[in-house]
Every structure is written in structure tokens, then in C-alpha cells.
Chain A
């Protein structure tokens, strides 16, 4: 029985995106909270997060390690195991192949099995660990097809071959085992497998972090090309904000379990509102254009077991005041932005707010 919670329950929550949700939303994460049960108490890894993904859109989820970005996405696709526990929220999926929206969080295991791969496919970071070392490429790919489609063996084999064409691997590699492939090729095989049955959403969790920049660009250019052709949506998780600025349509910045800012790439690049986003943008040396002054972000990410009330970024924030301990971390439109989808959790700082002189940061070099 697909039980989707009544509309009132979802809309009564703090509104994440003031203004209408676009009609072609394929994934709607509302108020999602995930905790890790530990003997020392619950660790709130994801705290009341709202995020949408529209059809054909590339949304980038940026955050440092431990910020909860992977937990958010794995929670939304029901891939978490104990001690992780989803305590709150809904994840509404509506694709072309489902007649009405479904709530992923209330699905039974057989419904989930139909949803996974067919509707939502995931490319994991470590392709070597995600591929089966004792099956060759063709067998892994046809295995997926047989599990989700009624398809003959020959058809599946032909399809596997054409998928390899799609990601630029010679067909001669069909009989290769994962250890015989380079890191880039393995990641391409993972991508080909994710696309094997034309999913609506492809979640990519740091798919290219372990690869060289040249290979990374090559693969991502190919993914975008495939996306344009096949029309899926991408939720792209990475710690590399500079990559997202170029790749994504919209960027969500996550820190200590909260979304701090969401906006289009252009808004984030030119009119970032949240102090953390501003700090991140000043943290990476750029290769192109004139040398900029880099400031970085002092301090280190907080311990989620000992979070103080209010904004988790406060201890590292140059703009911080006592008022920051009282904010509720809900997202509201950036006051100076014309774009209603550009939202921030910081009610005090705007894109053009100058850094307080009392907190003069160390500039390097």
C-alpha cells in the first residue's frame, strides 16, 4: 500500500522555497531529519532539510566531510542502516513512469526495489568497491537489466554493449573484470550501469573525487551530454564547490546537518549570502583569471555531538553576534535577491555586507 502523507502535513512545515514549487519537480525532500543513535545520545546528522530536484536539472550538494551531505541523500533514497534513523520528514518522488507521487520514506521493500535503479540510480564514490570483483562488466550490466526489465539475454547483451558505447569504452572491454580497468573506466562503467534502465534521477556521490582532473572533466562532460540527450535529473554530491559552479544549475550548501544556502550557480558565485558560502568561495585557489586574495575559513567543522543552539557555523563566523544563537536555521529568500529560489539560513548577512573589521581575517599569501 503506497501511503503518501496528506498534503497538509507537508505544507505546514517551514517553507523551504518561498514561491511555488515548480510543477516538474521529480524529487521533493521535506523536513528530513536523520540521527545516528549512539550510546552518548542521538547525533543529528541531517536536521530538517528541504530540497527539490526538477526534471532535467543538475543540483549540486556541497559540503565538507561530516556535513551530512551523503547521509541526506542516502536517507532520501532509504539506503541507511542502523544506527542511522530517519526521525522526520517526507521524500516525494514523482516521475514520468509513476501515475501519482509516492513517498519514498513509507515504501515497502518490494516498492523500494522497483524504485531503485529503475527510477533513482546511484553512482557511488568508490567504483572499485561498488563493482563486483568476480563478475565481468557484461555480466554486472545484464544482471541489473534482468532484475528490473523483462528482457532476453541477447537483448540485454546488446544493450550492455551500446551502453559502453555511450560512455566511451570500447566494446572489447565487455569481458573485462573490474581490476583490469583503470579508475576512470570503472567510474564510466558505474555510470553506464546507473543509466542502464533510463532512470529519472541519477544521484552521484563524489563520482570523480578519486580521479585526475583531466579524466574528471572528460567524464563529467560526457554525463552532461547524456543528461541532455536522455533527460534525467542529477543530484551531485561533492566537496568541490568550484566544480559545482561550473556543472550545476542550482547549488545547495550544507554544513553540520543543515542547508545554509540554496541558489542558482550564478547567484552563489556572484551574490553568495551566507558567510560560510562566502568563505568557501574564498578558499580555493583559482587557476584562471588574476590572482585573488584568499582568506579561507578559520577553525574546523563542529562536533555534531556537542552542537550549541542556533547557527552551527557561529564559532567560525566573522560576522557572528549573540543573536546568532537564537536563529532557527530555516531558509528564507535573500532580501536583496530578485530570485525567489535563492535562500539562506542567515537572517543577518546579505551578499554585500562588509566583513566586520574586528574580525579581520588572515589573508594569504
Chain B
């Protein structure tokens, strides 16, 4: 195993450490779906780690594993150095008061029959063990102010349908914060929102991260937002992490052929009026990941016989970067030099 120094480590102490996570789903008739394979990641207080990948790559499953909502097939998760215990209701509740999830769809994650106040009161009572009505009320209003739903008293009595998409997502951030967590797992927190609002929401998350020294996992399919928001980016493909590194280095000099394809596919406003012409088409895009060898080999321009037979382990690209590819000398010929230049 090659050890990479996480770019997020500079921000604060280690909060959560996941090692060798595996998750299989049984499909029946003895078939298994390997949703997550050998995923290791570390979250540090006050730092954002982004998990980037296409739909079906297993990134949401990783979030569920870290949140204790799915059983691990194998692997371990440590929270503040302690192994995670979610075996009983009480232990699970204790765990949840430290690790919270924010979901993608603010229309589905709030109960339409209850007010904003109800959504926030419950976690305040359960996780902060406050019982007096006045105390709870004060805490609810403080939470709403933290997510900038002002005046808080007015928002507390609204129902979800009275709020815009952005406001609803603020409520779900407030609900996650109500537990006073150390770790926030945000699964596509802005992808359902309008473009003009996304940035504001990411700015809010960034503010909350700083204020509460949250260790954050930001799951997204939008690698451009990860460039701006995250310290470290992990790229997932077919259940595996194929590349990891500091956000700026990884997006500007992607090493793994899949990351290169991902970056090349993002809309480039500076490539004006080309109407997407002249792009080398990946004709096999429709084909899924390979069963044997490197999962990306059917789509990879650098694939050779070794790639079709053996799955590559992560290889060091620079002290802070690794990529799982046999042919890095071809795929990422100049990457490490540039990374060093940038650091200099």
C-alpha cells in the first residue's frame, strides 16, 4: 500500500478514518454487486474532502457506510480513534450526534406535515439533551440564524412548502448542525438547487465548516465545484478510488485517465462557439466498467494487456497524490513536475 499524505491534514486533527471499506449488495441467485471496494479515506477537523464520481460509482454508498446506515462487508471506521459502534439504538444515536448527513433533495428530506421548528426541536432535544421549552426555542432560533434564515422566529413556524429550494436546504443544514456534529457528510448538497443559489449554499457550508471546525465529506458529480470547495479530492470509479490529491493539483493536472476524461468533459466556457466539435469521442462510453483488470480499461486510451488482467493498486504520483493506473508514465508523464512547481 502506498501512503498518501492527505492535503486536508494541514487543516486540523484527524476526525474520522475509514480503512479498506468494502460493501457488497446481494442481487439474488448468488450474484453480488461490489458497490464499494477497498475505499480508505480520512476526514480532518475544519477540512473538506470531496468524493467525485459518476452516478453508480458508489459515492453515496460510502456516505451511508460512514454514517452507520449500511453494514460494512469489511473494513473499519474510526471516529476520533475509537471504532464505530452502531450495534444498538442507543449507540447509533450517540454516533449520530457526532456524524450527520445532509441529503441531496431538500424537497424529499423534510416532512411536509411538520414545521421547521419541529424538524429542529427533535434533534436539539435528543442530541443536546435540553428539555426546557425556552432553552430549546432559543437553540432553534440560534440554529436558524447560523444558516441565515432571518428573522428566525418567522421561519421557525413555516412549513416546507412555504420555503424555496435554497431555504429548505438551509433548514436541512440547520437540522444537521442541531446535533452539534464533528463530522458532516454532505451528499450532493447543492445539485438540486438553481445555479444562482448553489454558490451561496457552498459559501454557507464553507462558513459553517470554519465556524464549527467541521470535518466535511463533500460528495458531488461536479468536479469544478470540488476544485473551489474542497482541500482534497478523491475520484471514484466503479466503487474504487482511482485518484486522490490536493484539489487544485488534481483538477489542473489530472493523472488518472478517468480523471482526465472527467476534466475534459466539463463545459469549458473559454472554448467558445466550438459547439463541442472536434472532440475525440469515447465510442465505448456506453460500456460499463470491466469485470476483470482495471475497471476503466474498456474506455481507456492507454489500456494494454496488463490493464485487462490485473487491477492496479494506487501508485504515488507525488507525496500528496496517488492514482491507480499501470501506465502513469504514459498517462501522466508531466504531472509530478508541475505539482512540485506549483508548491514551490
Q: A interface vs B, CB < 8 Å? A: 58, 64-65, 168-169, 182-185, 212-218, 220-222, 224-225, 228, 239-243, 245-249, 264-266, 269, 279-281, 283-289, 291, 294-298, 300-301, 362, 364-365
Chain A residue nearest to B263 (CB atoms) is A287
Q: Contact: A247 with B276, CB < 8 Å?
A: yes
Chain B residue nearest to A244 (CB atoms) is B267
Chain B residue nearest to A185 (CB atoms) is B286
Judge if B305 is at the interface, Cβ distance under 8 Å. no
Separation of A362 and B204 alpha carbons in the complex (Å): 11
Q: Give every chain B residue within 8 A of A287 (Cβ-Cβ).
A: 223-224, 227, 251, 263, 266, 268
Chain A residue nearest to B282 (CB atoms) is A218
Q: Contact: B225 with A222, CB < 8 Å?
A: no
B286 contact from A184, A284, A291, A298, Cβ within 8 A: A184
Chain B residue nearest to A214 (CB atoms) is B265
Using A246-B267, A289-B270, A364-B199 as known contacts, list a sample of 13 further A-B pairs with CB atoms less than 8 Å apart, ordered by residue number in A.
Answer: A58-B275, A168-B286, A215-B54, A225-B277, A243-B267, A245-B267, A245-B272, A279-B196, A285-B229, A286-B224, A286-B269, A294-B199, A364-B203
Chain A residue nearest to B207 (CB atoms) is A364
Q: Give every chain A residue within 8 A of B223 (Cβ-Cβ).
A: 213, 287
Judge if B274 is at the interface, Cβ distance under 8 Å. yes
Separation of A364 and B201 alpha carbons in the complex (Å): 11
Q: Give every chain B residue within 8 A of A364 (Cβ-Cβ).
A: 199, 202-203, 206
Closest 4 CB pairs of A and B: A296-B199, A364-B203, A212-B54, A287-B224
Separation of A289 and B272 alpha carbons in the complex (Å): 14
Q: Contact: B268 with A300, CB < 8 Å?
A: no
Q: Contact: B265 with A216, CB < 8 Å?
A: yes
A-B contact pairs, 11 of them (CB 8 A): A58-B275, A218-B281, A240-B195, A246-B276, A247-B276, A280-B196, A286-B268, A296-B198, A300-B166, A300-B197, A364-B206
Question: How far is the CB of A38 from the nearest CB of chain B, in Å?
Answer: 15
Q: Give every chain B residue within 8 A of A295 (Cβ-Cβ).
A: 199
Q: Contact: A217 with B276, CB < 8 Å?
A: yes
Judge if B279 is at the interface, Cβ distance under 8 Å. yes
A212 contact from B55, B200, B273, Cβ within 8 A: B55
Q: Give every chain A residue within 8 A of B270 (Cβ-Cβ).
A: 288-289
Q: Give every chain B residue within 8 A of A228 (Cβ-Cβ).
A: 277
Separation of A228 and B276 alpha carbons in the complex (Å): 12
Judge if B164 is at the interface, Cβ distance under 8 Å. yes
Q: Give every chain B residue within 8 A of A182 (Cβ-Cβ).
A: 286
Separation of A269 and B195 alpha carbons in the complex (Å): 16
Q: Give every chain A residue within 8 A of B275 (Cβ-Cβ).
A: 58, 224, 246-249
Q: Give every chain A residue within 8 A of B264 (Cβ-Cβ).
A: 217
Judge if B221 is at the interface, Cβ distance under 8 Å. yes
Q: Contact: B196 with A64, CB < 8 Å?
A: yes
Separation of A86 and B206 alpha carbons in the complex (Å): 44
Q: Contact: B265 with A298, CB < 8 Å?
A: no
